[in-house]
């Protein structure tokens, strides 16, 4: 079952902000116009909370997919349901699609709107993810972007870039690192970085955990 | 990440084991940060904020402090306090919401939503 089988059921040609988002943006505009807040300084403060949204639920999803073939199959078939099995559901009921890295294919996710980030599984979007250079270059020059993230892939690895929509958010399942046979899900989850689930990183090498211990 | 001591007096603020704030959605982090910045700019004292939030939370009968509903009330309390402080004039926030809604609907998906002129 490939993620390519998924078609877009709706043709949404405009953006939509939820009632809550409208209220938050209205407040930000007001406070900015009055000179009480400076948007770059606000972003900087929010960045310090980046890891503070929920636990990194996505890492547990990936670790389970690595260890449980049945779960992996359910995840590839219907990621929304498989992720919900673990108790992680989004407030807006967004549709999740899992894309799996293999020896031949590397997946990478981009979106031009920060609201199109699967924060229920990945937490807060990093600032670079929302930045214009990443958004435009990820599509045009994925290899160059990956190099900046210190990810070097073999020349014959195909890179697939997935553009999220308001309805569909992607979760990259990175390749399971070698040398992790018999590891528990919890231990494996420590190897799954946020960037590896966006596709701008790989899962950590087991030796990196030994260094930290 | 820990918070300044006075912030810990915030009613029922959800904190993690390191004493940092916990959020369940990006907008929650945004409204929290805006409150911190407005306070730093001298719009209100943290005591006034704690009182406004406390009043909003008191409307909640059972007091079950779920993170989601907590920040819903935080947002309402922030709007109320800014209006009480005359930072927001009557109807101003509603007008801005309408302007953002219009801007979003006029923006093709994939482009950043920008408020041309409120």
Interface of A with B in 7-46 (CB under 8 A): 12-17, 20-31, 33-38, 41-42, 45-46
Summarised one tens digit per residue, pLDDT across range A98-141 is: 999 999 999 999 875 545 677 677 776 777 777 778 888 888 89
| Stretch B53-58: mean pLDDT | 89
Q: Do B110 and B52 belong together in one domain? A: no
- Find out whether A114 is annotated in a ligand binding site: yes
Residue B98, domain extent: 89-118
Is A93 touching B (CB cutoff 8 A)?
no
Express each pLDDT in A140-179 by its tens digit: 899 999 999 999 999 999 999 998 876 788 999 999 999 9
- Asked if the ipTM is above 0.90, the reply is no
Domain A55-212: which CATH number of 3.20.20.120, 3.20.19.10, 3.90.330.10, 3.40.50.720: 3.90.330.10
Say yes or no: B19 and B67 in one domain. yes
Pick the range with the lowest mean pLDDT from A36-50, A72-86, A112-126, A178-192. Answer: A112-126
The predicted structure's pLDDT at residue A86: 86
Q: Do B104 and B83 belong together in one domain?
A: no
pLDDT at A18: 83
Is B108 within 8 Å of A14 when comparing Cβ atoms? yes
Same domain? For B53 and B70 the reply is yes
**Touching check for A118 and chain B: CB below 8 Å?**
no
Q: How confident is the model at residue B104 (pLDDT cuts 50, 70, 90)?
A: confident
User: How crowded is residue B98: how many other Cβ atoms within 10 Å of its Cβ?
Assistant: 13
Q: For A196, how many CA atoms within 13 A lie in the half-sphere containing its CB?
A: 23
The domain spans of chain A are 17-48, 55-212
User: Is B113 part of the contact surface with chain A (CB cutoff 8 Å)?
Assistant: yes
Contact A177, A191 (CB under 8 A): yes
Q: Is the domain of B38 the same as that of B83?
A: yes
Q: Which residue of B has its CA nearest to A88?
A: B24
Residues B80, B99, single domain; the answer is: no
Backbone phi, psi, residue A91, to 5°: -70, -30
Q: Return d(Cα B42, Cα A132) in angstroms, integer.
A: 33
How far off is chain A from B13, nearest CA to CA, in Å? Answer: 14
CB interface of B with A, residues 26-45, below 8 Å = 26-34, 36-38, 41, 43
């Amino acid at each position: 079952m490939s993620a390519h089988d998924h078609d877009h059921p709706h043709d949404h040609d405009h953006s939509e902000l939820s009632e809550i988002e409208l209220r938050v943006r209205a407040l930000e505009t007001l406070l900015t116009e009055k000179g009480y807040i400076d948007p770059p300084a606000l972003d900087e403060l929010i960045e310090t909370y980046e890891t503070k949204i929920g636990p990194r639920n996505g890492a547990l999803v990936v670790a389970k997919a690595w260890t449980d073939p049945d779960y992996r199959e359910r995840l590839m078939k219907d990621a929304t349901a498989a992720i919900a099995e673990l108790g992680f559901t989004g407030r807006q009921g967004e549709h999740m699609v899992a894309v799996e890295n293999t020896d031949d294919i590397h997946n990478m996710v981009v979106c031009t709107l920060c609201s199109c980030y699967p924060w229920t599984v990945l937490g807060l979007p990093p600032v670079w993810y929302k930045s214009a250079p990443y958004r435009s270059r990820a599509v045009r020059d994925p290899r160059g972007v990956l190099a900046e993230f210190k990810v070097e892939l073999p020349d014959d690895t195909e890179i697939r870039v997935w553009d999220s929509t308001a309805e569909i958010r992607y979760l990259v399942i990175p390749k399971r690192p070698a040398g992790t046979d018999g590891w528990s899900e919890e231990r494996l989850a420590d190897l799954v970085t946020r960037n590896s689930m966006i596709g701008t990183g790989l899962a950590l090498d087991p030796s990196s955990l030994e260094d930290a211990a | 990440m820990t918070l300044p001591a006075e912030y810990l007096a915030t009613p029922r603020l959800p904190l993690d084991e390191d004493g940092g704030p916990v959020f369940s959605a990006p907008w929650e982090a945004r409204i929290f940060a805006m409150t911190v910045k407005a306070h730093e700019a001298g719009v209100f004292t943290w005591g006034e904020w704690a009182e406004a939030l406390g009043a909003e939370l008191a409307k909640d009968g059972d007091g079950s402090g779920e993170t989601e509903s907590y920040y819903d009330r935080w947002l309402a309390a922030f709007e109320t306090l800014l209006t009480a402080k005359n930072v927001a004039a009557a109807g101003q926030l509603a007008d801005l919401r309408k302007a953002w809604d219009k801007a979003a609907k006029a923006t093709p998906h994939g482009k950043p939503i920008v408020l041309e002129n409120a």
